[in-house]
Amino acid sequence: MTEPAKDTSTAVIWQDLDPPTQKIEGDDAPVKVIKTEQLKALGQNLTHLFSQYRSDRRIAELKWLRNQRQYLGLYDPEIEKVMSPNRSKAYPRITRIKCISVLARIMNLMFPGNERNWEIKASPSPDMDVKDIMAAIQTAQKADQDAGVQVELTDDYIASAVQ
């Protein structure tokens, strides 16, 4: 088995490419010297990261393709090559049936058809105007004074008055 020929023209171009050393000068700009070695190191680091991410994603993409073929009821290409042409190619689409039943159950949980899936009640952290908060606190204090109860103004008291 022979190896495919590699395109060496781009490899030579990238190896021989030396970015120029740049110096930014000006009265209001800080002086920054960008060295060729630092740019090469940055480029190599980014190239290494990209190749690592590409290889990691490739594994996930192959798994996604295999899952999609299973969902659609298609055999994997390597299995189709091994199968004889006179053999039945029926593929049980069990995965699709399972996926559809799980989707139906999730939809029934999220949006039940026989009962209300919403309710109206006070928010645990209401967004109110300052005047409304002060009015609620004063109303609660007046109700406590009428009942003959002396209460300190604490965070819990304010939260219960607003609720």
User: Could you report the per-residue pLDDT of 110-160, keeping only the tens digit for each?
Assistant: 887 777 767 787 776 667 778 888 888 888 888 888 888 888 788 888 888
The predicted structure's pLDDT at residue 23: 64
Which percentage of the chain shows pLDDT scores above 70?
Answer: 77
- Choose among 122, 121, 132, 120: nearest CA to 158: 132
Q: In this structure, what is the dihedral angle of CA atoms 70, 72, 73, 78, given to the nearest 10 degrees?
A: -60
Residue 99 and residue 72: Cα distance in Å, rounded? Answer: 11
> Given this model, what pLDDT does residue 24 score?
64
Average pLDDT of the chain to the nearest whole number: 80
Mean pLDDT of 37-44: 89
How many whole angstroms separate alpha carbon 17 and alpha carbon 7? 17
* pLDDT of 1 higher than 50: no
What is the C-alpha to C-alpha distance for residues 23 and 35, in angstroms, rounded to an integer?
A: 9
SS3 at position 148: coil
Looking at residue 25, its pLDDT comes to 65
